[in-house]
Amino acid sequence: MAHIHFIGAGQMAEAIIRAAQSNAALHNTPFSIEDIDAERVTALTQRYQLPLVAPDTALAQADVVVIAVRPQDDIPGVAQRINQLAAAHSTVISIVAGVTLQQLSTLLGETRAIARVIPNTLTDTGYGYSGVTLNAHAQAEQLEGFLSAFGKV
């Protein structure tokens, strides 16, 4: 994986980044983050030594885009940004509770590679378990390194 971009910099996004860095599973993979809270982005980029990249640029360069916002946030707006800026080859991984794979396909397009992941609270230790479902365009082999970076799948 060349670049993983997180839309949303909440607790679960931080847990995934922390686990991936601590077990060195993705040591050559750059991460970038964006959030509506600029102070949170600054704190996480400093804490985890992430590059501070303009959100639109990071989204355009990402091979994997992780939607890590709250279910009540503007999911259609997030999907619209992804559709406008993300490369056609990028895979979208959603960790948003309650948003189904079919809903994501409707918002992101039927040809986009999409995975829905539900990690648990042990994610930041690297010993968590995650439930994963993929649409027909997502390939498990391409996501295995990312998903196993924070636990078992």
Written as tens digits, the pLDDT of the chain (153 aa) is: 579 999 999 999 998 888 888 877 677 788 899 999 999 999 999 999 998 889 999 999 999 999 999 988 999 999 999 999 999 999 999 999 999 999 999 999 999 999 999 887 666 666 778 889 999 999 999 888 888 888 888
Query: What residues pair up with 86 in beta bridges, in sequence order?
Result: none
Q: Which of 14, 37, 10 is nearest to 124 (CA)?
A: 14
**CA-to-CA dists, residue 146 to 9, 24, 76, 84, 122, angstroms:** 17, 11, 25, 24, 16
- At residue 96, the pLDDT reads 95
